[in-house]
Structure 1
Amino acid sequence: MVFRQSRVGGQRGFTLVELMVAIAVIGIVSVGTIPLFMTFLRAMQTRGASQELVTVLQQARELAIARNTDYRVEIEPDNNRLRFVRTSDNVVWTGPGTDAQGYRRLVNQTRLTCRKPEPPSFITFNPLGSAGGGTITVQNAQGTSSLNVVVSPSGRIRQCGPTAANCTQCP
């Protein structure tokens, strides 16, 4: 007959107190990191939406160059949407990602909070790719994070942090 020992190599398990202490330490660390993670998550949502806006504005610029005509980007902050309109005859461009009226919305329920130049001016791209210039602020749904998307008169589109509450341009 062969007898087996219940403890192999003299090892023993964890006590209930040791497991409770380990769970408590994990809980304390989690409580401290969750707010930081949520702040990071909201900032990344804002960055993603502003990058999407940069891509959409670049699409309007490329459309103006390809079709050899001026296109303006009409932005409606109240309805949180935008669209492209050919300036020569006010025909709305419809394509992938737009509804029947040519409007599109940004992802993550972000908001377009302010724009310079002020209404009724719009950001207009000409066939050479240059623009009238302007700044659009993208803000997350909670209102805790925002980024500016700046269109320079040369047509360059870039994103930067908000430098002031009144939508100032990037430094």
Structure 2
Amino acid sequence: MNARGFALPELMVVAAIAGVLAVLAAPTLVSYARASTLQAGARELATVINLGRQIAITQNTAVCVEVAGTNVRLRTGGCGGTMWTGPGTDGAGVIRLSEPSALRISTTATVVFTNLGAAVPAGTYTVTHPVSNGTRTVVVAATGRVSVR
């Protein structure tokens, strides 16, 4: 027989195999998306904290990093100082993290960077994905180094 193309049973088998593979891959894809959102949120928070350190060094003043929910405020002159406004802030000096509904942030301390970039006190920020309960930790060492774990 010299027929061209595929028979209907062959196409049905291929479609069934593709469907099974899609069903098996979907949970992995969802898990990957949640883990990526969590990692991106932790890195974004670390970037904002590093911005506070950079401002402290360049302006030769203490900078307080205040975290409320998924909003971050930087205050120059310490925690009672003036709100810093600049690139990435709204008119009130608030930096909003990009995934507010997908993340929760808790902290052990309000970090203040000195004019030399050291953190007083050192602090830990825990970023949690509320659905997967996965966590990433943003650690601010006393030296001012910010890392994501």
Q: Distance in 1 between matches of 2:53 and 2:115?
A: 8
Contact 1:71–1:86 (CA under 8 A) maintained in structure 2: yes
Deviations 1:32-77 (A, max 9, x none): 1011011001101111111111111111001000000000001113
Q: Distance in 2 between matches of 1:143 and 1:59?
A: 29
Rg comparison, structure with higher value:
1
Q: CA deviation at 1:11?
A: 5.0
Q: CA deviation at 1:108?
A: 2.3
- 2:19 alignment partner in structure 1: 27
Give the one of 95, 114, 129 matched to 1:140: 129
**Aligned sequence identity (%):** 34
Q: Distance in 2 between matches of 1:111 and 1:156?
A: 23
Show structure 2 runs of 5+ residues with no match. Answer: none
- 1:101 alignment partner in structure 2: 92
- SS of the residue corresponding to residue 108 of structure 1 reads coil
For residues 147-162 of structure 1, the aligned pairs below 5 Å read: 147-160=136-149
Aligned CA RMSD, in angstroms, stands at: 1.7
Question: Following TM superposition, where does structure 1 have runs of at least 4 consecutive aligned residues deviating by more than 4 angstroms?
Answer: none
TM-score (norm 1): 0.79
How many residue pairs match? The answer is: 146
For residues 9-20 of structure 1, the aligned pairs below 5 Å read: 10=2, 12-20=4-12
Show structure 1 runs of 5+ residues with no match. Answer: 1-6, 161-171
